[in-house]
């Protein structure tokens, strides 16, 4: 079983990581940096304003960047018949989805944390704020990855599924955003702990919710 | 080859609010084959998917002993990958059994991306995946679609060898499929 899961992870990473074959894998990262670059143009160069709002902007940009690859996460594999073949080999959808959450997170979480350092420089954030943003992203991006896979599975096969997935993720990501970006305002670690708690709940739910959704989509 | 049986009893299939077939029973043991025939849309593919356990039956039950291998219209190969790596994903997953790439005429296609392959070449690739799986129960949904006459003979020969090794073949096809000792079942007999 674990050997099969390793093979699945290898394939998922080959698809989702940089230079991946499902196209547009650098896109979330560039999108994230573009938002961070455009923000000072939009609100003006006042350093105090930028420093105060910059952390929140990084969080919103991270959320939007995580939404970009949703339509490539689950649906192509259902359409190509991969999930059918895995089911015949006795690999549970729950495991496949768990592996996919891990691969999705690896493809955008760590790169986003690196890009946040660049963004922090662009927005003029101080070291303490950057540390809180990075810790918050570390706690929050696994939850975003799980949420993304869950919503991608639920909307697989629907007409306009890609747009619907984005619409569904945003309200469900509110708790992550409230606690993650909120930790910047309070300057405390309790916000990050709550972000991590929301992430863990999402990570625990996703295999079952997304697995059931994939089985239902197969029909 | 492991002992395999396929038993379907009193199956019915409903798509939307239409019952496609009902009261269908089928029993196959190792070394036996059956072809499901019928017009387009009569429910051949649905029957295959119900027996594979990928679709719930409206009524009745299915019991399959032995690993199931399925060929349908979707080859389950990554379109953007060259054929070689796309096939070796399944080979690694299935335990690295040697596949019949030479015999299926795929040897000089291994560096061609799957999306550039023709329908028939994709079907051959799917057969290579099936052979590598070493499954005892073959469920073949329109296995001859897009194949040239030489490849049709090859598929018939492969199915014959599979039966000789004690496997089961269930073939859903509207095309003639030459296989010695194969039973035939017309799905039209089970429409309500």
Residue that has been written with the tokens 């309500």 in this structure: B192
Rounded-to-integer distance, Cα B71 and Cα B145, Å = 11
Asked if A24 is an interface residue toward chain B (Cβ–Cβ < 8 A), one would say no
pLDDT of residue A108: 86
pLDDT of residue A35: 86
Is this prediction's ipTM beyond 0.90? yes
pLDDT of residue A23: 53
Give residue-wise pLDDT tens across range B146-181. Answer: 899 999 999 999 999 999 999 999 999 988 888 888
pLDDT of residue A19: 58
Rounded-to-integer distance, Cα A156 and Cα B76, Å = 17
pLDDT of residue A22: 57
pLDDT of residue B157: 92
Q: Which residues of chain A have pLDDT under 50?
A: none
pLDDT of residue A57: 86
CA distance A210 to chain B (A): 17
Q: Of B76, B79, B80, which has the smallest distance from its Cβ to A85's Cβ? A: B76
pLDDT of residue A201: 96
Give residue-wise pLDDT tens across range A55-95. Answer: 888 888 888 888 888 888 898 899 999 999 999 999 999 99
pLDDT of residue A209: 96
Q: Return phi, psi of residue B183, to 5°.
A: -80, 160
Find residues 77-96 of chain A whose CB sits inside 8 Å of chain B. 79-82, 84-85, 87-89
Best residue in A81, A90, A216 to probe B by mutation, most B CBs within 10 Å? A81
Chain B CA closest to residue A2: B93
Is the model's pLDDT at B96 over the cut of 70?
Answer: no
Q: Give yes or no for a contact between A106 and A13, defined as CB atoms under 8 angstroms apart.
A: yes
Q: Residue A22: its chain B contacts at CB < 8 A?
A: 80
Question: pLDDT above 90 covers what percent of chain B?
Answer: 57
Find residues 66-125 of chain B whose CB sits inside 8 Å of chain A. 67-70, 72, 74-81, 89-90, 92-94
Rounded-to-integer distance, Cα B108 and Cα B105, Å = 8
Contact (CB<8Å) A7/B81: no
Average pLDDT, chain B: 89
Asked if B156 is an interface residue toward chain A (Cβ–Cβ < 8 A), one would say no
pLDDT of residue A47: 83
Chain B CA closest to residue A20: B80
H-helix or E-strand spanning residue B89: helix B83-93
pLDDT of residue A82: 94
Rounded-to-integer distance, Cα A12 and Cα A106, Å = 10
């Amino acid at each position: 079983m674990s050997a099969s899961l390793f093979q699945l992870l290898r394939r998922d990473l080959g698809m989702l990581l940089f230079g991946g074959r499902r196209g547009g894998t650098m896109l979330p990262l560039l999108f994230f940096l573009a938002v961070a670059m455009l923000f000072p143009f939009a609100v003006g160069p006042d350093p105090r304003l930028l420093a105060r709002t910059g952390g929140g902007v990084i969080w919103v940009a991270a959320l939007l960047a995580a939404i970009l690859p949703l339509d490539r996460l689950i649906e192509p594999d259902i359409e190509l018949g991969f999930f059918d073949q895995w089911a015949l080999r006795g690999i549970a959808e729950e495991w496949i989805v768990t592996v996919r959450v891990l691969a999705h997170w690896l493809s955008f979480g760590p790169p986003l944390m690196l890009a946040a350092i660049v963004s922090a420089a662009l927005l003029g954030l101080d070291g303490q704020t950057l540390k809180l943003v990075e810790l918050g992203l570390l706690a929050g991006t696994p939850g975003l990855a799980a949420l993304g896979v869950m919503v991608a599975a639920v909307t697989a096969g629907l007409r306009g599924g890609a747009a619907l997935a984005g619409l569904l993720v945003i309200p469900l990501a509110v708790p992550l955003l409230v606690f993650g970006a909120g930790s910047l305002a309070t300057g405390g670690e309790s916000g990050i702990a709550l972000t991590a708690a929301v992430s863990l709940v999402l990570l625990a739910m996703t295999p079952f919710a997304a697995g059931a959704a994939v089985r239902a989509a197969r029909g | 080859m492991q002992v395999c049986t396929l038993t379907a009893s009193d199956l019915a299939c409903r798509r939307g609010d239409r019952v496609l077939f009902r009261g269908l029973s089928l029993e196959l043991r190792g070394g036996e084959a059956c072809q499901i025939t019928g017009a387009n849309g009569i429910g051949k593919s649905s029957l295959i998917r119900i027996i594979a356990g990928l679709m719930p039956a409206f009524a009745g039950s299915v019991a399959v002993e032995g690993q199931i291998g399925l060929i349908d219209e979707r080859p389950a190969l990554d379109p953007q990958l060259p054929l070689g790596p796309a096939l070796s994903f399944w080979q690694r997953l299935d335990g690295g059994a040697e596949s019949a790439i030479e015999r299926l005429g795929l040897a000089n296609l291994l560096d061609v991306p799957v999306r550039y392959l023709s329908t028939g070449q994709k079907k051959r690739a799917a057969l290579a995946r099936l052979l590598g799986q070493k499954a005892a129960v073959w469920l073949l949904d329109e296995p001859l679609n897009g194949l040239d006459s030489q490849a049709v003979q090859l598929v018939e020969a492969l199915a014959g060898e599979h039966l000789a090794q004690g496997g089961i073949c269930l073939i859903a096809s509207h095309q003639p499929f030459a296989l010695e000792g194969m039973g035939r079942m017309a799905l039209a007999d089970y429409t309500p």
